[in-house]
Amino acid sequence: MQLQSLNTPSLQHNHNSILNNNHPSTNNAPFVFPVVAHASHPPQSPPIDPSPPESFDQLLASAHMPPPGPEYYAARRRLWLTPQHKPPPTQPPPEPSSSRQRLEKVLSKSDAVYSDAAWKSSIETVWKGLSSGGRLKRRLPLRLIMKVIHAAWIRDNTWPVGMEAPDPDDILPDDPTTTDIPQTFSTRYPVQTTTGLVIS
């Protein structure tokens, strides 16, 4: 309820009429007439902000986890990879530009990373932009970027010609409930530590 003073002309007139009729409430104290303010439009409720997502530590504390061991590792990994909030709908990706189509066509060949003609035609330009810290105007798939980097590493001898990447030994098996744990380091070659201990 909003209280309004009698200083306004309309309420001053009402006050005078009350005084002339010897209303029992008249006295030396200032008279205040209650006025209820009615809004022409109901107030809008503020939008409710979505609750912030829980941290991984909070999720881990509230989850029912198995005892320490392979099953605990797999359950923790599943919890980490599970999205907590549904992402908002996104617009369909734009059509690939003509330059990207040319790059995809060049890199689609099996020997593209070794071809000097492919390097000079388009791969070198993309690599110079990436290596100088420039930002792409449009996104490129990771598979294309990896081929561009591979081609550049071959030319500066970072990647030996003919070298094939070994199969990774730190990938989890398809079945997350399996008890097989991948090794944390490769035992393919002996490793000598700083203390002189040889791990093989």
- pLDDT tens, position by position, 39-96: 555 556 555 545 556 788 888 888 889 999 999 999 999 888 887 766 667 777 778 8
Per-residue confidence in pLDDT tens, the chain, 200 aa: 454 444 555 545 554 554 454 444 445 555 554 444 445 555 565 555 455 567 888 888 888 899 999 999 999 998 888 877 666 677 777 788 888 888 999 999 988 999 999 999 989 999 999 999 888 888 888 999 999 999 999 999 898 887 877 777 766 666 555 555 444 444 444 444 444 444 44
What DSSP designation does 200 have? -
Of residues 49, 7, 10, 6, the one with CA closest to residue 25: 6
Q: How far apart are CA 135 and CA 20, in angstroms?
A: 83
Q: How far apart are CA 68 and CA 88, in angstroms?
A: 36
Distance of CA 178 to the CA centre of its chain: 30
pTM of the complete model: 0.40
Q: How far apart are CA 98 and CA 161, in angstroms?
A: 30
172 close to 77: Cβ distance less than 8 angstroms: yes
